[in-house]
Amino acid sequence: MGFENILTEVRGTGARQTGLITLNRPKQLNALNDALMDELGAALKAFDADAAIGCIVITGSEKAFAAGADIAAMAKFSLTDTYGADFITRNWETIRSVRKPVIAAVAGFALGGGCELAMMCDFIIAADTAKFGQPEIKLGIIPGAGGTQRLPRAVGKAKAMDMVLTSRMMDAAEAERAGLVSRVVPLAELMGVALAAADSINELSGISVMMAKESVNRAFEGTLADGIMFERRLFHTLFATEDQKEGMDAFLNKRKAAFKQR
């Protein structure tokens, strides 16, 4: 895949591997412009369609995961450029259709659209240098890629209002306490830990992994009763897979499961 604003690599040596995407506009602190978001969408789709890939990791640089949408590009936008051209929806939403797990490995700034992109991933592993924020209000706008919706779901109304209204940044320790990130690790260990988490997912039955992701995401839509029924039906369905037979047989025979992805 030849891209200008991101780097893509395949990592891992197991039967299924990890698609690693590195946001790569370091001079602009990985500010997310249209070209980058188009490339990110294309890379995500390609990895999602590749049967050899079990999991995707998105990362940035040590200084910035991403400092937000590109302010230089947005500065002159009119309503025609935003509503008229379907700004954000047209190329930021691809990640929502990815069925394989997507892990954000965040160091440095994750601000505005950068924080929103991290929150669109399935979980966030943060370096101890990470800083999260929604500073759009200082620019006379508000978060536009889901920040006002996903942040309160992650950290509750009080902290979300504080961040969105005052533009206060949250450091990694606070982000972990608040539930925005799943783990905080020293910066030097960030990629090792994120890729190890991806590797552990790669070893599993991909069908059960996709169903688990889809079911957890249901917790954020609709009622609890609907979500539980959705989960129940996926749970029932997994008994039609060979991987379920293999996983349970392996446990009962005290051996490691060898999933066949079917």
State CA 131 to chain mean position distance: 16
Region near ligand HXC per CB under 6 A, out of 135-143, 170-178, 198-206, 219-227: 135-143
CB of 37 to ligand HXC, least distance (A): 8
Q: Please identify which residue in 113, 119, 170, 184 interacts with ligand HXC, judged by CB under 6 A.
A: 113
Q: What is the rounded distance in angstroms from the CA atom of residue 102 to the CA atom of residue 118?
A: 10
Q: Which is nearer to ligand HXC, 36 or 197 (CB)?
A: 36
Residue 169 φ then ψ, to 5° = -90, 150
Question: What is the DSSP track for 145-201?
Answer: SSHHHHHHHHH-HHHHHHHHHH---EEHHHHHHHTS-SEEE-GGGHHHHHHHHHHHH
Stretch that binds ligand HXC, among 6-14, 134-142, 156-164, 245-253 (CB under 6 A): 134-142
118 part of the interface to ligand HXC, by CB under 6 A = no
Question: Token pair of 163, please?
Answer: 């961040």
Binding segment for ligand HXC among 23-31, 180-188, 192-200, 219-227 (CB under 6 A)?
Answer: 23-31
Tell me, yes or no, if 113 is annotated catalytic: yes
Q: Which of 64, 69, 105, 212 is catalytic?
A: 69
Please tell me which residue in 60, 116, 130, 175 is annotated as part of the active site: 116
Cβ atoms 80, 42 nearer than 8 A: no
Q: Are the C-beta atoms of 21 and 43 separated by less than 8 Å?
A: yes
Q: Does 144 bind ligand HXC (CB under 6 A)?
A: yes
Q: What is the rounded CA–CA span in Å between residue 258 and residue 205?
A: 9
Taking residues 72 to 101 in sequence order and writing x for each that binds ligand HXC by CB under 6 A, - otherwise, the string is: x---------------x-------------
| d(C-alpha 234, C-alpha 229), whole Å | 9
Active-site option among 114, 136, 194, 197: 136
State yes or no: residue 119 binds ligand HXC (CB under 6 A). no
Segment 44 to 73, residues that bind ligand HXC, using CB under 6 A: 67-72
**Beta partners for 133?**
111
Active site annotation includes 116: yes
- Within residues 196-225, the interface with ligand HXC by CB under 6 A covers none
Out of 19, 68, 108, 113, the active site residue is: 113
Respond yes or no: is residue 203 known to be catalytic: no
Closest CA to 145 of 90, 102, 85: 90
**Residue 111 contacts ligand HXC per CB under 6 A:** yes
Residue 95: which residues within 8 A CB-CB, separation 6 or more?
40, 41, 44, 102, 117, 120, 121
Site for ligand HXC, rule CB under 6 A: 28-29, 31, 67-72, 88, 109, 111-113, 116, 135-136, 139, 143-145
Q: Catalogue the active-site residues.
A: 69, 113, 116, 136
